[in-house]
Amino acid sequence: MTFLQFALNNVKRNTRVYLAYFLSSVFTIMVFFSFAVNLFHPVIVGKRGGAIEQILGQTEVAILVFSFFFVLISVNAFLKVRSKEFGILMILGMSNKQLRRLVFLENMVIGCLAIIVGITIGLVFSKLFLMLLSSILSYGSLSFYFPYKAILLTTGFFILIFLGISALTPLLIRASNIVTLLKGTKKANREIKFSIMQSMTAVLLLGTGYFMAVSPQLYDINPLLDKIALFIENLPYAEIFLTASVVIGTYLFFSQLSIFVLHRLKRNRSFYFYKTNMLWISDLNYRIRDNTRMLFLVTIFSTVAFTAITGVYALYSVVKDEALKENPFALTYTSYSGNENEQQHIKTIDEMLESHGFHYEKYQSKVIKQVSKDSQVIHVIKQSDYNKRASALGLERVVLDKGQALLVPVYVRFDPKRDKTLSQKNIALDNGEINLEVVGVAPKVIFYSGLFRNLVVVNDETFNKITDIQEKYHSYSYDIPDWLNTIEVTEKLRDELGVGEYGQYFWSTRIEGYQIENQNKKLFLYVGFFLGAIFFLGASSFLYFRLYTDLNEEKRKYIGLSKLGLSFNEMKKVASIQIAVLFFVPYILASIHTYFAINVLQTVLYSSVFNQFLTVIGVFLILNIIYYVYVRSRYISYLKQFMVQ
């Protein structure tokens, strides 16, 4: 047996230990490679500097950073478990240099194998990935090409990562003292301490983070709350502060709070001494303490996975909804009074729509622009025009007196706190000649988001009396039920009308915004899904490894207990509870984190994404349950062999 064979044997015969790590690495490399194949596709390269290149490129960087830490943490854990083995080898005369070489060789064997397998699987699926991308970008079909650049890039970067980690191993193995190495990972189970202060800090930090996440939604409940919410909003680096407090809070949750809770359970003597309760509670104490870092990492990784996937899924599924809210009408043409081609243009639009077989409803409105003495812009629309639009949009019609006015929001998310124009009590037109009392605010945008700031609805009579007219717009809005198919006709209209002319006319469609958004969100969904999957697999790999390494100690414990008369069913119960805690506490905590993270996202969306959140969390719950059932049954059947029956 040569030294190289020795290293190979170590890897080959330890597959069960390395399995989850290996599979996770393969998947990560496969995804990295597939994105690289997309990124280097001649068609994508041809559109240099586009959003696609940026999103894919940044995802690649994120994968690399993740991989570095994933490999580092995994290798560190493997080395810790093997310290006794290293002690034996060093006593047999292995030099530090040889030890480093051994670890290096083993890492490189696993790493190179993962790279080869990952790229191979990636190649097999590359056509599929290209198809996915081309359907997202509606590019027709991206042809297959031999991605030698992607192969080089993937191999190069991942070899660098494995090399870099190997170079760091001397820091990870503190091989100075053979005697301590030989004693191995077996530490005497010291008394477990926790601090009430730190447990409280955990609650406080998590609470702060969660509160900051929901604070934008707490307006209008209580004036004090409003102040706090505004304060948080104006806080510099609020996101970093929020993230940091949740991350640190999570760590303290496992290192302190969980132990504190178990300690409380222990003090309830009638519960603690009931049947096998004592066994799993006292044992869980040690397991959580020994696995604090693992549980913490699993929680954070799961949170990233859940949030990424919920986020992209939510964004994707509300695109249509958002487009409908942004643009209540499929097409809106607005003409200045000086535009001589107005009728010609409208005719063109009508004919074009008709010739393509679209049914439509046209709503015409006149809008007057005034600028008051304090140079505030006011747009005015008459009640009858408003009511036409309102009934088209399913809003209530309004009836206004001569002295009354209704305000209309200009943005979809109207927020009286920030859009000051919506909190006006009185409106003065014609420089104070006409004074109106505000009777309410319309519930929705009636043109499209951003058009006609400070829009006021007035009685038709009042409208006709207005003398101070800065500009009088004619705005035509088209309601086209079959708007999703208007892309072709819109393109033709753009050929005819262009984007508009300054001081003459401008026009906007729902389909164009929708298309761009849809494409972006699909792209997000594509990369976000895979990023989430990578993180989730990483978390699963940590869990698997910890359970596997704990198994030997568990074996010893259950042999002893079975001799004392612990039945198989009792063992099964104790082991099930313990594994369930290790599996589901991180899951639950990560789900709560995700819920609040999604709340942050909610502040920039008009539609609720709670259902999407439930869907994603539900899918992961099912995955987790499957994984749990599988691991638990293997675990228990392994322990069963050693039980005295």
Partner 1 sequence: MEILKLNHITKVYGDKVPHSALKDINLGIEQGEFVGVMGPSGSGKTTLLNVISTIDPPTSGEVLINGENPYQLDRAKLALFRRRKLGFVFQDFNLIDTLTIGENIVLPLTLDGQKVSFMDKKLKEVAARLNIEDILTKRTYEVSGGQAQRTAIARAIIHSPLLLLADEPTGNLDSKAAKDVMELFESINRDTGVTTVMVTHDPLSASYCHRVIFIKDGRFFNEIHRGNSRQKFYQKIIDVLSLLGGEADDLSSIRFK
**438, β-bridge pairs:** 405
> Could you identify the residue written with the tokens 């790279």?
115
Intra-chain end-to-end CA distance of the chain, in Å? 42
Cα 286–292–298 angle (5° rounding)?
130
The span of 4-12, 134-142, 302-310, 613-621 binding partner 1 (CB under 8 A) equals: 4-12
The span of 117-125, 174-182, 399-407, 621-629 binding partner 1 (CB under 8 A) equals: 174-182
CA proximity to 118, closest of 38, 22, 189: 22
Q: Give the residue with the Cβ less far from partner 1, 234 or 637.
A: 637
Among 42, 46, 49, 93, indicate the residue that binds partner 1 (CB under 8 A): 93
Tell me which amino acid residue 431 is.
Answer: N
374: enclosing H helix or E strand: none
Q: Give the residue with the Cβ less far from partner 1, 493 or 639.
A: 639
Q: Give the residue with the Cβ less far from partner 1, 3 or 231.
A: 3
Binding of partner 1 by 97 (CB under 8 A): yes
Among 26, 89, 575, 616, indicate the residue that binds partner 1 (CB under 8 A): 89
The span of 176-184, 375-383, 441-449, 537-545 binding partner 1 (CB under 8 A) equals: 176-184
Binding of partner 1 by 51 (CB under 8 A): no
Radius of gyration of the chain (CA): 32
CB of 643 to partner 1, least distance (A): 18
| Contacts of partner 1 in 586-645 (CB under 8 A) | none
Binding of partner 1 by 91 (CB under 8 A): yes
**DSSP state letter for 545:** H
For 6, the 3-state DSSP assignment is helix
User: Two tokens at 295?
Assistant: 């549980």
Among 90, 232, 330, 434, indicate the residue that binds partner 1 (CB under 8 A): 90
> Could you identify the residue written with the tokens 């030997």?
552
10 Å Cβ neighbour count for 104?
A: 18
Q: Give the residue with the Cβ less far from partner 1, 14 or 520.
A: 14
Among 42, 61, 148, 179, indicate the residue that binds partner 1 (CB under 8 A): 179
- The whole-angstrom separation of Cα 315 and Cα 321 is 10
Q: Give the residue with the Cβ less far from partner 1, 630 or 638.
A: 638
> Could you identify the residue written with the tokens 């009931």?
274
- The whole-angstrom separation of Cα 321 and Cα 381 is 27
Binding-site residue total for partner 1 (CB under 8 A)?
25
CA proximity to 173, closest of 99, 92, 107: 99
CA proximity to 56, closest of 155, 136, 143: 136
CA distances for 600 relative to 19, 210, 441, angstroms: 37, 10, 26
- The whole-angstrom separation of Cα 138 and Cα 140 is 6
CA distances for 18 relative to 25, 114, 604, angstroms: 10, 11, 43
CB of 321 to partner 1, least distance (A): 57
> Could you identify the residue written with the tokens 């990369």?
527
CA proximity to 260, closest of 194, 207, 192, 190: 194
Q: Give the residue with the Cβ less far from partner 1, 17 or 571.
A: 17
Rounded-to-10 torsion of CA 263, 268, 271, 274? 90
| Contacts of partner 1 in 98-137 (CB under 8 A) | 98
Among 54, 58, 96, 344, indicate the residue that binds partner 1 (CB under 8 A): 96
The span of 91-99, 324-332, 346-354, 612-620 binding partner 1 (CB under 8 A) equals: 91-99
- The whole-angstrom separation of Cα 546 and Cα 291 is 8
CA quadruple 298, 300, 306, 312: dihedral positive or negative? negative
CB of 24 to partner 1, least distance (A): 21
Q: Site mask, partner 1, residues 7-26, x = CB under 8 A?
A: --xx-xxx------------
Q: Give the residue with the Cβ less far from partner 1, 176 or 234.
A: 176
CB of 110 to partner 1, least distance (A): 14
CB of 172 to partner 1, least distance (A): 18
Q: Give the residue with the Cβ less far from partner 1, 464 or 637.
A: 637
Binding of partner 1 by 1 (CB under 8 A): yes
CA proximity to 426, closest of 372, 478, 348: 372
Q: Give the residue with the Cβ less far from partner 1, 569 or 641.
A: 641
CB of 89 to partner 1, least distance (A): 7
CB of 552 to partner 1, least distance (A): 11
* Cβ contacts of 244 within 8 Å, gap of 6 or more: none
Binding of partner 1 by 564 (CB under 8 A): no
CB of 165 to partner 1, least distance (A): 21
> Could you identify the residue written with the tokens 């036409």?
388
10: enclosing H helix or E strand: helix 3-12
CB of 555 to partner 1, least distance (A): 12
Tell me which amino acid residue 215 is.
Answer: S
Q: Give the residue with the Cβ less far from partner 1, 85 or 460.
A: 85
CB of 186 to partner 1, least distance (A): 12
Binding of partner 1 by 2 (CB under 8 A): yes
Q: Give the residue with the Cβ less far from partner 1, 19 or 439.
A: 19
CB of 22 to partner 1, least distance (A): 16
Biggest distance spanned by C-alpha atoms of the chain: 103
Among 159, 178, 238, 601, indicate the residue that binds partner 1 (CB under 8 A): 178
| Contacts of partner 1 in 218-277 (CB under 8 A) | none
The span of 66-74, 82-90, 252-260, 523-531 binding partner 1 (CB under 8 A) equals: 82-90
CB of 187 to partner 1, least distance (A): 17
Binding of partner 1 by 85 (CB under 8 A): yes
**429, β-bridge pairs:** 434
**367, β-bridge pairs:** 381, 473
CB of 85 to partner 1, least distance (A): 6
Q: Site mask, partner 1, residues 182-201, x = CB under 8 A?
A: x-------------------
- The whole-angstrom separation of Cα 312 and Cα 316 is 6
Among 54, 57, 58, 95, indicate the residue that binds partner 1 (CB under 8 A): 95
> Could you identify the residue written with the tokens 């660098």?
160
Rounded-to-10 torsion of CA 178, 183, 189, 193? 10
Site residues for partner 1 per CB under 8 A: 1-3, 5-6, 9-10, 12-14, 85, 88-98, 178-179, 182
